[in-house]
Amino acid sequence: MENAWLIPLFPLLSFLLLLLIGKRMKEASAYVGILMTLASLVFSILVLFERFQEPSYLVKFNWLTIGDMHLTAGFEVNQLNALMLFIVSLVSFLVHTYSKGYMHGDERFHIFYAYLGLFTFAMLGLVISPNILQTYIFWELVGVGSFLLIGFYYYKEEAKAAAKKAFIMTRIGDVGLLIGMILLFWQTKSFEYSEIFKAVEAGSVSNTMITLTAILIFIGAIGKSGQFPLHTWLPDAMEGPTPVSALIHAATMVAAGVYLVAALFPVFSASKTALLTVAVIGGFTAIFAASIGIVQTDIKRVLAYSTVSQLGYMMLALGSAGYVAGVFHLMTHAFFKALLFLAAGSVIHAVHTQNIEEMGGLWKKLKWTAPLFLIGTLAISGVPGLSGFFSKDEILAAAWEGGHPVLFILALIAAFMTAFYMFRLFFMVFTGENRGNQKEVHESPSVMTLPMLVLGILAIVGGYVNTPWFGSFLGDWLVDGNTALGHAHIEGPAWIMFAATIVSLAGILLAYLIYGKRSIAPDWLSGKGGILHTILYNKFYIDEFYQITIVAITKGISYFLRFIDVFIVEGLVKAVTGMVQGLGNIGSKLQSGQVQTYGAVAFLGLAVLVVIYALTGGYLR
Amino acid sequence: MSQVPASAFLALALILFCIGLYGALTKRNTVIVLISIELMLNAVNINLVTFSKYGLYPSINGQVFALFAMAVAAAEAAVGLAILMALYRNKKTVHIDEMNEMKN
C-alpha cells in the first residue's frame, strides 16, 4: 500500500510518452497505454487485497505553507479508495484494450490513447486524494480529460458543441463544490477529510452550516454525475467515441459525483435536510431519465439516459443513508454499464449506425456481442442471480428503511422502466428482421470481445460479494464498525425482493410482447405522433427550456457587457489614441520640408522673445 | 573729417541684415538665398568691426573675428555651392521650395 501512489502515475507516464513519441509509434501506441494501465490494474489489485488485511494507510506531506496554515498533499488508501482504484483501473484497462480494435485506422489513434491516459491518471488521482482540495484539482482534471475525449471527433459540429456543453455544465456544478469546499475550510480550518469528519462529529460546526455545505458539495456531484437539473450534457456527451462513453460517461467519471458524496458521507449524514435533498434529487432523476430512455432511438442515447437513471439510483441510496447500497451499486453498475457500452460499440462497429430502428436480427450475426449484451441487459434490469439484482435490492431496501415510501415507489417504477427500455433496446437490435441495409455484418475482433467477456463475467458474479443469501461481505468490509457510515447491511422486508423481481420481469415481459413478439403495437400507449411520445422524445424540452431561459438571459447579459466593452471601454481607449494620433498628424503637417518656413518661424520666435525681453527689461519673472 | 557716429554703422548693419533675412526667407532661387545669407554674415561683420572701434572696450579682437568670419564664410559658400551643384544634377532644379526631402 506504500506504493499506491504509483498507480495514477503509470497512465500519466503513458500520456507523456504518447505525447512525445506517439506520432512515430502510430498504432503501436496502444501497447504503451495497455501496458501502463495493466500495471495500474495489477497494483490496484494488490492494494485491494492488502487492504483486506491491513488498516487504512495515509501519507501526507506539507505542500504549501501560508502563514500558520499548512496545505498538505498525499494519498490515502481506505476501503472506498481501494475499491474505486480497482474499478477504475480495471475498466480503464479493458477500455484501453478494446479501443485497439475499435479505433483501428483512426488518424489520431495515438492522441486518443494519450487522452485516455490523461483521464485515467486524473480519475485514479481523484480516488486516492486524502483531502478535498486535492480532490478538487483532480476533479477538474477529470473534466478536462472528458472534454478532450468528447470532442475527439472535433471536425463534427455536434461533437464540438457537446464537448463545450459538458465542460460548461459540469463547471456550473463545480462552482457549488468550490463554494462548499471553501465554507468547509472556513468552518473546520482544514481540507483533510479526517479533520473535517472530526469537526463535524464533535459538533463544532453549526447544523445549518453543515446542511449548506453538504448541499453545495452535492451541486458539484449533480454536475459531474448528470443528475437533474444538470443532466443534459451526459446524453450529448455520447458524441465521443464509444469506448470513451464506456469509460468516462458510464463507469468512472460520472460515478465521481457518487464517490464524492460517499467520501464525504459523514458530513451528509450529519444533516437530515442534506440527505433528503440527495435522496429526492436522486429518486426524481432515476424515474425522469428512465422515462426519456423509453422512447429514444439512438442506441448510445438510450444507454446514456439509463446511466443518468442508475446514477440517480445511487444518489437515492446514499440519500437514504444506504452508504453500502450506493457504493455497491456504483461497483456493479460500472461492470454492467461498461459492458453494455462496449457491446453497443461493437454493434455500431458492425453496422455503422447508431439508430436502433435501422438494426434488428443481429443475434445470429454477432455471436459474441449479442449474448454479452443480453447479460448486461439482464444485469441492469435486476433479474435475480445477476449483479444488478443484488445492488438494486439493497437500494430499494435502503429507500424503504430510510422512511421514504414515495421515493421507494418511484424507484420501483424506475426499475420497471429500466427493464422495459433495456429489453426494448435488446429486442430491437438483436431480434426480428433487419430493417437497415447493412450487407455485411462482421463480429468484432477478439481484442474487442475479450474485454467484454471479462466484464460479462463480472456483471454476473460481481453481485455475490454482498448478498442477503451468502452474507454481506462487501458491506461489512466497507463500514468496518464505522458508525458514521451507517449499517453494514440493511435487512429490508423479504417482500421487497419479490416486488423488485416481479417488477423487472413485468418490464421484460411487456418489452417482449411489444418489440419481441409484436403482439401489442408499439404505439399502444400513445401514437408515434402522440403528445406523450413527443414530450418524452424531446426529453421534456429541458434543453429548449434552458435555451430560452438561462442561455437567453446569459446571452442578453453578454450582449449588454459587449456593448459596454465596445462602446464605452473601447471608446475611451479610442479617444485617447485618437487624440495622440491627431496631435502627431498636426505635428507632421508642420514638417513641410520648406526650409524657408522653418527659418521664418525661427525668426518669428526670436522676434517674440526679443519683444518680451524689451518689454520686461530682461527681468522675466 | 567729421566723425561718423557708431549708430550709422549699426543702422547700415541692421538694414543689410534685414535685406539678407528677407531674401533668405522669400526667394525661390537657391543661389539668391545663399547670396542673402552672405549679406547677413556681412552685416554681422560690420557689427563686429563697429564695436571693435566704438565699443565700450575698443580692441583689435573684433576685427580679427571679422576676418575669421569672412574666411569661414568663403569656405561655407564654396561648400554650399558644391551641394547646390549636386542637388541640381539630381533634381534639375534650383528652386528651394522643391527641395523638401525632409518633409514629414
B2 CA: distance to closest CA in chain A (Å): 33
Is A123:A92 a contact under the CB 8 Å cutoff?
Answer: yes
3-state secondary structure A337-384: HHHHHHHHHHHHHHHCCCEHHHCCCCCCCCCCHHHHHHHHHHHHHCCC
Question: A593 vs B100: CB contact, 8 Å cut-off?
Answer: yes
Is residue A581 scored above 90 in pLDDT?
yes
| Mean pLDDT, residues A564-584 taken together | 91
| pLDDT mean across residues, chain A | 83
Residue with the larger pLDDT of the pair A224 and A517: A224
The model's pLDDT over A104-140, given as tens digits with 9 standing for 90+, comes to 878 888 888 888 889 999 988 888 888 888 889 998 9
Q: How many CB atoms lie within 10 A of CB A597?
A: 15
B1 CA: distance to closest CA in chain A (Å): 36
**Considering only CB atoms, which chain A residues are within 8 Å of B26?**
596
Q: Round to whole Å and give the CA distance between A346 and A352.
A: 10
pLDDT band at A262; cut points 50, 70, 90 = confident
The model's pLDDT over A330-349, given as tens digits with 9 standing for 90+, comes to 888 888 888 888 888 888 88
Q: Helix crossing, A446-461 with A369-381: angle to 10°?
A: 30
Query: A108: which DSSP letter?
Result: T
| pLDDT mean across residues, chain B | 89
Listed range (A64-73, A178-187, A419-428, A433-442) with the worst mean pLDDT:
A433-442
| Mean pLDDT, residues B75-80 taken together | 92
User: Residue A620's pLDDT is what?
Assistant: 59
Residue with the larger pLDDT of the pair A474 and B85: B85
B90 touches A at CB < 8 Å:
no
Question: A596 vs B101: CB contact, 8 Å cut-off?
Answer: no
pLDDT band at A466; cut points 50, 70, 90 = confident
A546 CA: distance to closest CA in chain B (Å): 60
Listed range (A88-92, A357-361, A468-472) with the worst mean pLDDT:
A468-472
User: Residue A17's pLDDT is what?
Assistant: 86
B99 touches A at CB < 8 Å:
yes
A3 touches B at CB < 8 Å:
no
B96 touches A at CB < 8 Å:
yes
| CB pairs < 8 Å spanning A and B | 29
3-class SS at A617?
Answer: coil
Q: Round to whole Å and give the CA distance between A3 and A578.
A: 65
| Mean pLDDT, residues A277-291 taken together | 87
**Considering only CB atoms, which chain A residues are within 8 Å of B99?**
593, 595
Query: A483: which DSSP letter?
Result: G
Is residue A572 scored above 60 in pLDDT?
yes
Question: A600 vs B25: CB contact, 8 Å cut-off?
Answer: yes
**Considering only CB atoms, which chain B residues are within 8 Å of A606?**
none
A554 touches B at CB < 8 Å:
no
pLDDT band at A70; cut points 50, 70, 90 = confident
Q: Round to whole Å and give the CA distance between A371 and A304.
A: 21
User: Residue A525's pLDDT is what?
Assistant: 56
User: Residue A520's pLDDT is what?
Assistant: 65
The model's pLDDT over A169-215, given as tens digits with 9 standing for 90+, comes to 888 889 989 998 888 888 887 888 888 888 888 877 788 888 888 88
Structure-block grid coordinates of residue A75:
494519498
pLDDT band at A54; cut points 50, 70, 90 = confident
User: Residue B82's pLDDT is what?
Assistant: 94
Q: Which residue of A has its CA nearest to B18?
A: A603
B28-96, CATH topology level? Helix Hairpins (1.10.287)
Give the closest of B21, B96, B104 to A595, CB-based: B96
Q: Round to whole Å and give the CA distance between A65 and A71.
A: 6
User: Residue A490's pLDDT is what?
Assistant: 66
For A421, residues 6+ apart whose C-beta sits below 8 A from its C-beta are A290, A293, A294, A302, A306, A511
Residue with the larger pLDDT of the pair A391 and A526: A391
User: Residue A621's pLDDT is what?
Assistant: 56
CA angle A100, A106, A108 (to 5 degrees): 100
ipTM of the complex: 0.82
Question: B96 vs A596: CB contact, 8 Å cut-off?
Answer: yes
Q: Round to whole Å and give the CA distance between A240 and A348.
A: 13
CA angle A249, A251, A252 (to 5 degrees): 80
Q: Round to whole Å and give the CA distance between A508 and A513.
A: 9
Q: How many CB atoms lie within 10 A of CB A75?
A: 22
Question: A593 vs B101: CB contact, 8 Å cut-off?
Answer: yes
Nearest to A431 by CA among A365, A510, A503, A352: A365
CA angle A464, A468, A471 (to 5 degrees): 65
The model's pLDDT over A414-427, given as tens digits with 9 standing for 90+, comes to 888 888 888 888 88
> A442 exposed, middle or buried (CB, 10 Å; 0-12, 13-18, 19+)?
exposed
| Mean pLDDT, residues A263-278 taken together | 85
Is residue A505 scored above 90 in pLDDT?
no
For A157, how many CA atoms within 13 A lie in the half-sphere containing its CB?
A: 0
